[in-house]
Amino acid sequence: MTTYYTEDHEWLRVEGDVATVGVTVHAATQLGDVVFVEMKEPGAAVAKGDECGTVESVKAASEIYAPASGEIVEVNAGPVDNPASLNADPEGAAWLCRIRLSDPGELAGLMDRAAYDALTGA
């Protein structure tokens, strides 16, 4: 399993041809208390950079962007039903969706943890 990060503060863990996608701890902290999560439905096709969901907090609304192209095959009901769970465990149990990758070559442009930490000053 390999984990990648985007400049838009999404993470993805890749196992085979499926990527589990969520927002980083940094993003969840910046958002503040999350009050609403909405994701595209399973079966939806997304291209890298397309909006695939929305997270709203007491501070702002933020789009979630597909870090790679493919088909959404699963949406995690946890953060949709209980948005506050996104603040509690954004890089674990509160993942947002799973995407079956159509072009694994797109992963080459993403960051590893060290590069992401350098970006955020962590």
Give me the CATH number covering residue 108. Answer: 2.40.50.100
73 by DSSP, 3-state: which? Answer: strand
Q: Tell me: the pLDDT tens digits for 33-61? A: 999 999 999 999 999 999 999 999 998 89
Please state the domain count of the chain: 1
Rounded Cα distance, 83 and 18, in Å: 24
Q: Answer yes or no: is pLDDT of 1 > 90.
A: no
Q: Tell me: the pLDDT tens digits for 75-86? A: 999 999 999 999
User: Three-state SS string across 29-46, please?
Assistant: HHHCCEEEEEECCCCCEE
61, with CB counted inside 10 A (0-12, 13-18, 19+), is: exposed
Rounded Cα distance, 118 and 43, in Å: 35
Q: Answer yes or no: is pLDDT of 67 > 90.
A: yes
Domain extent, residue 10, equals 2-120
Residue 122: per-residue pLDDT: 79
Other Cβ atoms within 10 Å of 109 Cβ, number: 12
Q: What share of the chain is helix, strand, coil (3-state, %, to 5)?
A: 25, 40, 35
Residue 28: per-residue pLDDT: 94
pTM for the whole thing? 0.94
